[in-house]
Structure 1
């Protein structure tokens, strides 16, 4: 997703540098947290006072907002926090975590289950999916999970603009084969690079639902471009995330995943097992955040960045202050 911030070219240059460091000789030490916070519901934790944590995130809006939320939470708890949000590519971000280049990152259970651990069959039940991910990640990768949030499920979906949905009379993914058979012109799909190739993406959907998209009609776009392309009718079916604020802003019609193909993508904090054992208080800090996050809250924050053009750090801090998790400097 394209990130629009008040920092303009300076911010863009900084992100480009981060990407270069990630693919070159390793990560930099990160930058300072962009905004200050004071303790609110999240109070200083003696065991975390002055301890250095580098927070990472992937390079799309929701992850960047969540990354800043993690940074502000740790800052309020008294930790010394470094910012390495906006890492390009899920695998790159994950490798940064397991190789000690970042210490904390919000992750999605479905991504870990399918993409990092190589499982082909998702587990429909959210709690069972999380427990399976937690055990496998710990045993295979030394990655520990904490503060899982079952109220957030940012899974994949297909959406159409309202006019196309009404024209083809489609509400469920299982109806795509019939639509493609009766209306060949409808067979255009807009997806991002990862979704086009991941087995929890388009190839898996095609197999599960019994259709095959014409490769010449698959348009690979950046994540941020897909929503507008779907709204404009450039493609009939667009890959979307269910917590993205542009779904409502652009009045997109989301298809029901009636065969429950897509895994659950509940969020949780991931860190290295040795780090969580050393600082188990991390779980308590982030549990306060998880208790206040749900799909609607994330959708609102995502929309403020992607639709209104606000800076994700401002959005994250404002949300945390509104929820009483932190205070802004000078707030009584």
Structure 2
């Protein structure tokens, strides 16, 4: 899973204790909404449905969207968002403590189902994780999945993109070796499925075509600004991070499909879906609207502009005509 999710899972409990995580617990407040594009659903009237999410910005926003959608549909939505890490989030649903939440196909396939080889086609990856998770764990994945993909990427500035003509990871080879510099987090550097594996997939090799001195290891949190400040040409990012938009960075395409796909979809306990099949149609109104550009913008409103995830979720849903 992208490293910022792991880092958040490890750090936020400490930061919350110190009052320094930057967010109140996500369950502290839910703004009121009225039906609009989402209308009351008879089968969901007063149905008690408990919603969970992980603790990082994107998941908090997605969790709030789910809660607000359920409320607009007439359900008694219980906000249990802000679970600390993927394991806690997942266990709360499989154990029955919560009923649904957004999960990523790559996380489901690799982390929960133990599969080593990701599937490059997004629809086939979704179908595979949906079928296996339902059979093994009685967890349903609701179609359609959202089109945004929160995975790893290498990003460059607009100036670098124009200067070298680089739009894809394959274009790294166009850059003279001496100028082929990278900023990466230590764990991403060390993993076989991280930096070195990426180079190998695109015909480059650490220590030769990418000299060791050209690679700077640093905290993931400062890489974005380091790219902007030209401390390196290429920098490791996650594709939906709000700082990409704020700093005008450009993630490179991954034409050889090295990085796993992380499309989000609503995951729900099978028994809950059987009792409330209307959930599929409800979230089908929402998922297709969540493109990479949309989620980057929403993440940026929280991480760059300092807005509250609950209001960001509500305002977006109002803009889309889903609620009022």
TM above 0.5, one fold? Answer: yes
Query: Are positions 1:183 and 2:178 aligned together?
Result: yes
Distance 1:215 1:51 in 2: 59
Distance 1:122 1:307 in 2: 32
CA deviations on 1:45-102 (whole Å, 9 max, x unpaired) are 2332222222222222222111110010011112222223233322332222222232
Query: Are positions 1:229 and 2:226 aligned together?
Result: yes
- Match of 2:310, SS state, is helix
- Match of 1:151, SS state, is coil
User: Given that residues 188 and 217 in structure 1 are in contact (C-alpha distance below 8 angstroms), is that contact kept between their aligned partners in structure 2?
Assistant: yes
Q: What corresponds to 2:137 in structure 1?
A: 141
Distance 2:136 2:226 in 1: 40
Distance 1:92 1:202 in 2: 28
Query: Are positions 1:285 and 2:282 aligned together?
Result: yes
Relative to structure 1, the CA distance from residue 216 to residue 83 in structure 2 (aligned partners, 3 Å threshold; closer, same or farther) is: farther
Q: What corresponds to 1:112 in structure 2?
A: 108
Distance 1:13 1:304 in 2: 19
User: Given that residues 37 and 326 in structure 1 are in contact (C-alpha distance below 8 angstroms), is that contact kept between their aligned partners in structure 2?
Assistant: yes
User: Given that residues 55 and 67 in structure 1 are in contact (C-alpha distance below 8 angstroms), is that contact kept between their aligned partners in structure 2?
Assistant: yes
Using the size of structure 2 for normalisation, the TM-score is: 0.79
Distance 2:224 2:47 in 1: 41
Q: What corresponds to 1:132 in structure 2?
A: 128
Which range moved further: 254-263 or 236-245? 236-245
Q: 1:122 aligns with which of 118, 122, 129?
A: 118
- Match of 1:183, SS state, is helix
Relative to structure 1, the CA distance from residue 55 to residue 142 in structure 2 (aligned partners, 3 Å threshold; closer, same or farther) is: same
CA deviations on 1:238-257 (whole Å, 9 max, x unpaired) are 33233333223212132221
CA positional deviation for 1:166: 5.8
Q: CA RMSD in A?
A: 3.4
Q: 2:271 aligns with which of 269, 274, 282?
A: 274
Using the size of structure 1 for normalisation, the TM-score is: 0.78
Q: 1:265 aligns with which of 262, 265, 283?
A: 262
User: Given that residues 164 and 174 in structure 2 are in contact (C-alpha distance below 8 angstroms), is that contact kept between their aligned partners in structure 1?
Assistant: no
Relative to structure 1, the CA distance from residue 33 to residue 16 in structure 2 (aligned partners, 3 Å threshold; closer, same or farther) is: closer
Q: 2:34 aligns with which of 38, 41, 44?
A: 38
User: Given that residues 190 and 230 in structure 1 are in contact (C-alpha distance below 8 angstroms), is that contact kept between their aligned partners in structure 2?
Assistant: no
Q: What corresponds to 1:103 in structure 2?
A: 99
Which range moved further: 297-306 or 273-282? 297-306
User: Given that residues 172 and 257 in structure 1 are in contact (C-alpha distance below 8 angstroms), is that contact kept between their aligned partners in structure 2?
Assistant: yes
CA positional deviation for 1:302: 2.0
Relative to structure 1, the CA distance from residue 44 to residue 306 in structure 2 (aligned partners, 3 Å threshold; closer, same or farther) is: same
Distance 1:237 1:119 in 2: 30
Relative to structure 1, the CA distance from residue 199 to residue 103 in structure 2 (aligned partners, 3 Å threshold; closer, same or farther) is: farther
Q: Say how many residue pairs are matched.
A: 306
